[in-house]
Amino acid sequence: MRLKSGLKVVLAITLFVTVAGEGYFLIADYLAKRLPQAPKECFDLEKEYDKWICFRPYFNELVRKVSPAYAMTEAKVLKEKKVLDDCHLNAHFIGEAALEKYDFDPGKAFAAGEFGCIEGYFHGVMERYVRYKADPYSVTSKVKNICDTVSSPNPQKEALLKSQCAHGIGHGLVAHNFLPIADALAACEDMDYAWRCKGGVEMEHVEQYLSLEEHELKGVLPEICKPFADLDDPASLSGCASNIGVALMWYTKHDLAQSKKLCEELGESEQVHICKSGTEAEELINLKG
């Protein structure tokens, strides 16, 4: 009797595992068919910028149909698998899509996001918010207090989020030629974390050139920081040159030697030096993951 009972238990467990296992694979298959699929045509693109743009609709769809956090995880996975060399700008795109998903409420969009990809998600949220909420004629008064609502029970995390918020505002002030460089920097002045806001201005200004072919990029490199050179703001001029170094690393898929060689196109020795320092700083960040 005990033997028969034991056999019954074993058979019952075996049947449960079999059914549960089949159920698991059925569910997995169902989810795989329902979830957006990464576009195959994006994987083989040679130019990194073209990949970023190609994957953008895919990430936007993940945000809409699943969540911003899921989209961020996918971006980081694609970077880990070397499909994407860098995921910062795709994280920007995910942040923009998240803000739209949450009806342009930056607090909700921030809460739904994830760190990673050099915190591009939070930059994208604020970049899109500035372009949605403010107009060039009243932007200075509107952006000053935008980051005051960003909060966290953890003081260190709150400070980090406020810093990312300010940086994202800097991106937004310049994105799509929203404001001239001088006016964008002036709008940052009265904010907490003004230096982070200015960094966003510098970064956004530089990133617009990443779509160029290499021969075109070489031609414009000496002129990129001219809007900063025309101002009495040496720190922002240095920031522009440093951001060129960072952007060149993304452009060359983190080829340090090639990026440094492109820095030499800036011509002026001090800017070349700062640009090369920017490439080295980005190399360290990339190695840390």
pLDDT exceeds 90 at position 194: yes
pLDDT score of 70 more than 60: yes
Share of residues in the chain with pLDDT > 90 (%): 67
Mean pLDDT of the chain: 87
pLDDT digits (tens, 9 = 90+) for 269-280: 999 999 999 999
- Annotate 49-86 with three-state secondary structure: HHHHHHHHHHHHHHHHHCCHHHHHHHHHHHHHCCCCCC
pLDDT tens, position by position, 127-161: 999 887 767 667 777 777 888 878 888 889 889 99
Given a cut of 50, whether residue 23 has pLDDT beyond it is no
Q: Is the pTM of this model over 0.85?
A: no
Q: Is the per-residue pLDDT at 47 higher than 90?
A: yes
For 33-62, give one letter per residue: b (16+ CB within 10 A) or e: eeebebeeebeeeeebbebbebbbebbbeb
User: CB burial class (10 A; 0-12, 13-18, 19+) of residue 113?
Assistant: buried
Give how far the C-alpha of residue 232 lies from the chain's centroid of Cα atoms, to the nearest Å: 30
The mean-pLDDT minimum among 16-20, 117-121, 242-246, 248-252 falls in: 16-20
CA distance 3 to 146: 72
pLDDT at 234: 95
* Cα angle 27-28-32, degrees, rounded to a multiple of 5: 115
Tell me whether residue 196 is exposed, middle or buried, using C-beta atoms within 10 angstroms of its C-beta: 0 to 12, 13 to 18, 19 or more. buried
Q: pLDDT confidence of 259, banded at 50, 70, 90?
A: very high
